[in-house]
Amino acid sequence: MGLAAWPCWKTIANAPGNLGPNKVIRMSACISVTDLVKRYDTPAGPLDILDRISIDVDAGQNLAVVGPSGSGKSTFLHILGTLDEPTSGTVLLMDRNPFELNERKLAAFRSEHIGFVFQEHHLLPQLTARENVLIPAVARGNAGEQAVERAKQLLERVGLGKRIDHRPGQLSGGERQRVAVARALMNGPRILLADEPTGSLDHANSSDLGRMLLDLQKSDGLALICVTHNDELAGWFDRQVRLESGRFAEL
Ligand code: ADP
Ligand code: MG
């Protein structure tokens, strides 16, 4: 797919200055966060878990988020994934404020644009690898022949071409997490969010999965944000930020 076809990019015909017709310039980020606050009211008073965070992640960019346990990393990803709402601030995904959408439209938006990978694979044990990968397409009422073929191709891309009909119980931990990555990509999202995706894997599997996520991110031009405790993995990302006391520090 050409850059101009990506929703994150706009083709400006007859743009001013030295940009000629059909030059592609970036108008906005896939993920654009401004002054994001998440506040919990506790008996001890209000607690700002996220305290005016701002960050942009474009198509084709990757970002690792590190930080101590309880610092708000999952809260941040859940808000970006529209699974939780900000207390204040602005979150734009693919140029839209998803929190303005009604519940039905928000679910459709999430399913179209955002892929998730969690620490646990959350595969359904009774389904094969291919059927698990198909779930996001089924949820959109789109599980025809093309989708079945796409699920197979995704499993081949994550190195599981010979495990398509295996059930989760017949796969190793690393293989199960690869299926979860293929499932996250099923609907062709531009945004991939991973919350400690290697947290349950040994060192070798962790490295393999991390490299695979970055390869997929680069080849598909995704905006990838990955929370990790693994410093080696974080070091492979183009950008790293530490979340501490509600704020980001660039590393
Ligand atoms: P991390 O992923 O960095 O370990 P989390 O985002 O899961 O951290 O949690 C950040 C903080 O927010 C934790 O201190 C947690 O106790 C607090 N928290 C999460 N949910 C609630 C809630 N519903 N009410 C009050 N505090 C909460
Ligand atoms: Mg967490």
19 bridge partner residues: none
Which residue from 38, 39, 42, 49 has its CB within 8 A of the most atoms of ligand 1, so it is best to mutate? Answer: 49
Q: Is the pLDDT of residue 107 over 60?
A: yes
78 Cβ contact list (under 8 Å, min separation 6): 84
**Residue 251 pLDDT:** 87
Q: Which of 154, 153, 152, 124 is nearest to 139 (CA)?
A: 124
Q: Are 48 and 37 in contact (CB under 8 A)?
A: yes
Which residue from 38, 75, 79 has its CB within 8 A of the most atoms of ligand 1, so it is best to mutate? Answer: 75
124 Cβ contact list (under 8 Å, min separation 6): 131, 132, 135, 168
Q: Are 110 and 85 in contact (CB under 8 A)?
A: no
What mean pLDDT is predicted for residues 83-109? Answer: 97
Q: Which of 34, 12, 7 is nearest to 23 (CA)?
A: 12
Lowest mean pLDDT among 12-16, 83-87, 125-129: 12-16
**Residue 29 pLDDT:** 85
Q: Are 117 and 195 in contact (CB under 8 A)?
A: yes
157-179 residue pLDDT tens: 999 999 999 999 999 999 999 99
**Residue 13 pLDDT:** 33
What mean pLDDT, rounded, does the chain reach? 90
DSSP state of 96: B
**250 pLDDT tier (thresholds 50, 70, 90):** confident
CB of residue 80 inside a 6 A radius of ligand 1: no
**Residue 21 pLDDT:** 46
**Residue 149 pLDDT:** 97
For residue 243, the one-letter residue type is L
Q: Could you give the percent of the chain with pLDDT greater than 70?
A: 89
Per-position b or e across 42-78, b if 16+ CB within 10 A of its CB = eeeeeeebbbebebebebbbbbbbbbeeebbbbbbbb
Q: Are 147 and 224 in contact (CB under 8 A)?
A: no
Ligand 1 centre to CA of 248 (Å) is 16
38-95 residue pLDDT tens: 999 999 999 999 999 999 999 999 999 999 999 999 999 999 999 999 999 999 999 9
Q: Is the pLDDT of residue 235 over 60?
A: yes
- The rounded Cα 251 to chain-centroid distance in angstroms is 21
207-234 residue pLDDT tens: 999 999 999 999 999 999 999 999 999 9
Top-confidence residue, 28 or 5: 28
Ligand 2 centre to CA of 222 (Å) is 22
Size of the chain, expressed as the number of residues it contains: 251
The shares of helix, strand and coil residues in the chain, as percent rounded to the nearest 5, are 35, 25, 35
Q: Which of 61, 60, 108 is nearest to 82 (CA)?
A: 108
CA neighbours closer than 13 Å in the CB half-sphere of residue 201: 26
**Residue bearing the CA closest to ligand 1, atom 5:** 72
